Amino acid sequence: MRPPPAPRRSFSLRSRALRGVLYQLMAIALIGLTVWFLAHNTLENMRVRGIRSGFDFLLQPAGFDIGETLMAYASSDPYWMAFAVGVLNTLRVALIGVVLTTVIGTLLGVGRFSRNALVRGLCYGYVEAFRNIPLLLQLLMWYLLLTEALPDPGQPLSLFGAVFLSKGGLSLPAPVWAAGHAGALLGALAGVGGAIAVARRARRQFDATGVPRATLLPGLGLVLLGAALGWALGGAPTEWRLPVAGEAAVTGGGEITPEFMAVLLGLTLYTAAFVAEVVRAGILSVPQGQTEAANALGLPRSRVMRLIVLPQALRVIIPPLTNQYLNLTKNSSLAVAIGYPDVVSISNTAINQTGRAVECIALIMAVYLATSLSTSAAMNAWNRRAAIQER
């Protein structure tokens, strides 16, 4: 039997494929024309009004100090370094906030199903309180609490004489950075890789035999062992910078400013309320028969939630959880209201000094677009892995 002849491609306007390509080309051309018109109109209006444009100002000295930096910076450094400091400060809040939000939100979501009425009520009250108060008001509340209710820097609250809390921020012991600390971080990362490999092997064995194997303690042991080996190979540094309470302020040690604490607390606690509802909805999506079957086998309630309910709920949790991560990152722009030097705050200062409003706003948009697309890409990869694999 002869195979059927290959279909001939038709390039007439009656071809649906050709019309689809033409429509897409027309849409791209229309979008490009619109972007060109807006850019040309903006540049022409700026030229008529004598407003300078361009990104050459990024190479000029910034001329202003930044109160909180994660990299070496001085007022004589160019604007691009100031923007880099702002980006790092934004990423610092976003990354730490995502981790804390995930932990707190998951605990709250699981707590909504607790058999203890008090725990259920507290979780419910938290969610309803924090998600219904505007985020900006919460940021201002935490900032005023940290800068007004706490004692003066000369009389800080002390914990074992090593940690101090006052209006000036949180001071705590910090290691003097050396090669051993970098080795510890690399060793911990290697331990995380080993923990992931152990968890995957345990999952394969569980699928094959039905016998669960411990993964938490072995994984934690690998992380600690890797960190210890890296620390030892790097020279085993032991020097610390300890804070000392003086008459006017606390000196030495590591410092966490009240602005950073207010931003982190506000973003984390606000977003955690929404994450809790996402987790609750995901748990409710799992058929009740799954839980009943696990209970019939005599599995403990904690193991049922960890091994049966949550893995299935992830397929429903991950997509809306991505939205909450994006919201947390973008909401960090409200930090400018309490003086935290994020990328928006740095851009506002640059606009006031240079008048390059369009360029600075474009940089802000590029930063948040890049962070949002990176977060979406990572979460989409996780979502594909957690999705049901059809045969």
pLDDT top residue among 322 and 18: 322
Instruction: Quickly tell me which residue has 């279909």 as its tokens.
Output: 7
Band the pLDDT of 170: cuts 50, 70, 90: confident
Look up the domain containing 382 and give its range.
Answer: 79-135+257-386
The answer to whether residues 141 and 148 touch, using CB atoms and an 8 Å cutoff, is: no
What is the largest distance, in Å, between two alpha-carbon atoms of the chain?
A: 98
Domains identified in the chain, total number: 2
Examine the domain organization and report whether 272 and 368 are in the same domain.
yes
Examine the domain organization and report whether 290 and 348 are in the same domain.
yes
Tally the residues of the chain: 391
CA 277 – CA 283 distance, rounded (Å): 10
Band the pLDDT of 296: cuts 50, 70, 90: confident
Instruction: Out of 186, 208, 238, pick the residue that ends a domain.
Output: 238
Examine the domain organization and report whether 231 and 261 are in the same domain.
no
Examine the domain organization and report whether 278 and 328 are in the same domain.
yes
> Could you tell me the CA-to-CA distances from 188 to 175, 191, 224, 227, 356 in Å, in that order?
17, 5, 7, 4, 44
Q: How far, rounded to the nearest angstrom, does the alpha carbon of residue 45 sit from its chain's CA centroid?
A: 39
Q: Give residue-wise pLDDT tens across range 333-379.
A: 999 899 899 999 999 999 988 888 888 998 999 999 999 999 999 99
Supply the pTM of this predicted model.
0.81
- Residue 250: predicted pLDDT: 81
- Per-residue pLDDT, averaged over 97-119, amounts to 92
Q: Give residue-wise pLDDT tens across range 197-232.
A: 888 888 888 778 877 777 878 888 889 999 999 888
- Per-residue pLDDT, averaged over 244-270, amounts to 87
- Alpha-carbon Rg of the chain, whole angstroms? 27
CATH of the domain at 84: 1.10.3720.10
Provide, for the chain, the percentages of residues in helix, strand and coil under a 3-state DSSP scheme, each rounded to the nearest 5: 70, 5, 25
Band the pLDDT of 388: cuts 50, 70, 90: low
Examine the domain organization and report whether 380 and 263 are in the same domain.
yes
pLDDT top residue among 292 and 263: 263
Examine the domain organization and report whether 94 and 129 are in the same domain.
yes
With respect to residue 143, please indicate whether it lies within any of the assigned structural domains.
no
Taking the CA atoms of 332, 333, 336 and 338 in sequence, report the sign of the dihedral they define.
negative
Look at residue 1 and tell me whether its pLDDT is greater than 90: no
With respect to residue 215, please indicate whether it lies within any of the assigned structural domains.
yes
Examine the domain organization and report whether 298 and 361 are in the same domain.
yes
84: enclosing H helix or E strand: helix 79-111
pLDDT top residue among 104 and 182: 104
The residue among 82, 89, 90 whose CA lies nearest residue 57 is 82
- Residue 104: predicted pLDDT: 95
Examine the domain organization and report whether 272 and 373 are in the same domain.
yes
With respect to residue 170, please indicate whether it lies within any of the assigned structural domains.
no
- Residue 280: predicted pLDDT: 92
Examine the domain organization and report whether 214 and 280 are in the same domain.
no
Examine the domain organization and report whether 286 and 377 are in the same domain.
yes
- Residue 210: predicted pLDDT: 73
Provide the token pair at 20: 């689809």
Helix (H, G, I), strand (E, B) or coil at 187: helix
pLDDT top residue among 301 and 320: 320
With respect to residue 14, please indicate whether it lies within any of the assigned structural domains.
no
Provide the token pair at 112: 């909504």
Mean pLDDT computed over every residue of the chain = 86
Look at residue 126 and tell me whether its pLDDT is greater than 90: yes
Examine the domain organization and report whether 130 and 275 are in the same domain.
yes
Examine the domain organization and report whether 131 and 263 are in the same domain.
yes
CA 246 – CA 338 distance, rounded (Å): 27
Helix (H, G, I), strand (E, B) or coil at 78: strand
